[in-house]
Structure 1
């Protein structure tokens, strides 16, 4: 029976890391080198520590060497004591959890500035409605799960009376040419330039998503995603399309990059967490340096997902516009859940807008309300304090669980009836009462955008209920 035992204190003294290798080394010495003196055992362990690769294939010492060759887990990255500057719009009706999440984000070592929009509510990493400028780094969860989720509004030449008097025809085309839900695909696949992008060949992880992307092109997700017919009212006589002020039939859609975007988000978020460990309360804010291979890969994949989301909207609109025999007069579209390279105080930064609309000076956007509330066509004012951003909608007042437990089908039906809205699909978690008052939200961001028109929903199609994709 061996009498020689090496303890952890001795291993620390000769430089062994405090890790599972402690137990392995002690067991190996006791089992195989009990006849050594303590000095001889320490000398042997010191040699293995100095050059573990030389002993990796050794029948006995290889177990110690291989454990030493395992890369040490990176140290947790500390947050700043003092936050970088940030602004909050409509703070009095933003939940505390969202403000706390922004407070974490603006303490990241790479943070430059932040902002919180009046529709903000708690999410993962950045809050929904959170905006963060970072120095040469991108935060996958600062972009969000549904990468490139966007709004697209098409103003058409159809007489408004045709929608009011012949809603059945509009409803039929909406049912025929849209498809909703997680995993939804069209049997007949459409060709599109986005499917020919080199990223599908050059990025290994994205390569495996091609078939999913091809099948889901031109479909919409679940949760708060929708396609709806309605009436757009142009109020600004100096509008960019030179349209006469007045009412027009319009088509509005909201969805993102479908399963492809969700899988890109999940993969690179996990990678960021491994490379960039943060304190537990900030772990979803893990970031990738854009000078690294991983950072560049995510950046390319994110941009591909954003362009794919745009292609989905354009295909949906093309099908419906053709089906109605209409002509496109004007279009407004904008991403949220994305990151952009922009200038801030003379320096290039990465601006993350998770559930926030770009609102640079002169930039157009559409900010929806709910299935019964108007949305607003806006022109950005380029406000630096908001990082040239505005809200992406009314924002949730209730969680999905609370909405389902506190809003009844009868209440929803009555609200739809009062506003003259036909709903196809949808669930109580998307009922108007689950959202903040869009007029209150818009009043809190008059410094950020000017309103040049609005959109009132009339026929709304959504998925039949279920978890959101963004």
Structure 2
């Protein structure tokens, strides 16, 4: 009996039917169906399959609204609630808060530095010293005001940039450049918002200036700030439009909405459960949706956290810009793209929930990082409707963090071809390259299936992890 047959039988005992053809798993049970793009060389995990089918089966209590399509990309693996790498489309007036969770608008930002590796290598030690202080050691000066945050949450990013006090880091920024770069932030203009959904600390006294301890921080887990080298251009026309060539140094930033996202996400997962009518049987999965006006209100609250995540990545990028310029002089850096992978976006008459998946509409740039030490990719979306206009957000874990801790090696983990800077040694273990799937098959599968076209491959040079 081959592995695939054993897999089918194992799932069948749980009422799950699995078929595999041309790199795609078709799965279904009595409640739902979904498809998973996954090379045969990568494992299909039972827990992730169960989670995906549970989300694909979420309905309103009256069964009139709910999920209408579900799929997953090759970085598919179990999450705490929702499987990572999953995309769930629902009716336009229905949302599933737990499908996004608490790391709202976790996403990626790619910044060109305007310098090549040959130009930066002689300054590496000084650059690492500066960036370590700014990114990991609280050496940043990023004053904010309640007026600016109210503007961000009520009006949007443009109003935030206009209102922010011109002090500290903000006084050194090129604000005209920041305004221009808003157009390269995927989905940003579609987020709603209202300051009433934010914690009072951000919206209290109207002109109070304070220093938010989370603004300009990458966060833990798999979040990072990484200087990378353009190792290979794979689509020269798209790379030219993005302003990239072989040998350039770029900055890839992976971070989200930090504590504010946790506040909003947890509140609305609790709200969805509380709104379930008394006397109506609760769903066995424990997953709850919101319909009508409550769905709209959730999207408004989610937008508050999403806008904050954008501001957080912007500050991280500007900290790197500041330290680069202090180290080597003026640079011609520019934002290539900023993309979300943990949000709900209204598209094609549906609400598209992406949990660890990235929008990939035709012509849209996407960022797909590998593990720490592996390659990362810039890609162009091809707009594949069967995969809900999406692609993967990375390589995907193949080993839980708890498992990596149990296998703690005697010596330091990997600094052979790149440097990892962290103030927490356990992070090297938890995020070791071996804990993740190889990025190559993940990219190849999506290219062959018509989800993306790879533009450029980057290799890591210096990684900063909190």
In the superposition, the TM-score normalised over structure 2's length comes to: 0.74
Structure-2 residue corresponding to 1:173: 130
Structure-2 residue corresponding to 1:140: 97
| Unaligned ranges ≥5, structure 1 | 1-79, 464-470
**In the alignment, structure 1 residue 461 sits paired with structure 2 residue 443:** no
- How do 1:12-51 residues align onto structure 2 when only pairs under 5 Å count? none
SS at 2:398's partner residue? coil
Structure-1 residue corresponding to 2:237: 238
Contact conserved, 1:400 with 1:429, CA < 8 A, in 2? yes
Q: Kindly tell me: are residues 164 and 195 of structure 1, through their superposed partners in 2, closer, same or farther at Cα, counting changes over 3 Å?
A: farther
Structure having the higher Rg: 1
SS at 1:263's partner residue? helix
Structure-2 residue corresponding to 1:383: 384
- How do 1:68-147 residues align onto structure 2 when only pairs under 5 Å count? 81-84=30-33, 86-90=34-38, 92=40, 93-109=43-59, 110-135=66-91, 136-147=93-104
Q: Using CA pairs under 8 Å that are at least 6 residues apart, name the structure with larger relative contact order, 1 or 2.
A: 2
Deviations 1:392-435 (A, max 9, x none): 111111001001112415261xx322x23333333311111111
- How do 1:184-333 residues align onto structure 2 when only pairs under 5 Å count? 188-190=142-144, 193-199=148-154, 204-210=196-202, 214-233=212-231, 234-239=233-238, 241=241, 243=243, 245-276=245-276, 279=282, 281-283=284-286, 285-289=287-291, 291-292=292-293, 294-325=294-325, 326-333=331-338
Which range is displaced more, 239-248 or 147-156? 239-248
Q: Kindly tell me: are residues 276 and 379 of structure 1, through their superposed partners in 2, closer, same or farther at Cα, counting changes over 3 Å?
A: farther
Contact conserved, 1:185 with 1:215, CA < 8 A, in 2? no
SS at 1:455's partner residue? strand
| Unaligned ranges ≥5, structure 2 | 1-28, 60-65, 156-192, 204-209, 326-330
Contact conserved, 1:241 with 1:330, CA < 8 A, in 2? no
SS at 1:316's partner residue? helix
SS at 1:197's partner residue? helix
Contact conserved, 1:203 with 1:297, CA < 8 A, in 2? no
SS at 2:374's partner residue? coil
Mapped partners of 1:125, 1:238: distance in 2: 40
Alignment length (residue pairs): 371
Deviations 1:275-320 (A, max 9, x none): 237756421x31111x22x333221111121121111111111122
Q: Kindly tell me: are residues 198 and 225 of structure 1, through their superposed partners in 2, closer, same or farther at Cα, counting changes over 3 Å?
A: closer
Mapped partners of 1:298, 1:203: distance in 2: 13
- How do 1:321-470 residues align onto structure 2 when only pairs under 5 Å count? 321-325=321-325, 326-343=331-348, 348-410=349-411, 412=413, 415-417=414-416, 419-425=417-423, 426-446=427-447, 447-463=450-466
Mapped partners of 2:316, 2:418: distance in 1: 24
Structure-2 residue corresponding to 1:42: none
CA positional deviation for 1:196: 2.0
CA positional deviation for 1:107: 1.8
Contact conserved, 1:124 with 1:141, CA < 8 A, in 2? no
CA positional deviation for 1:90: 0.3
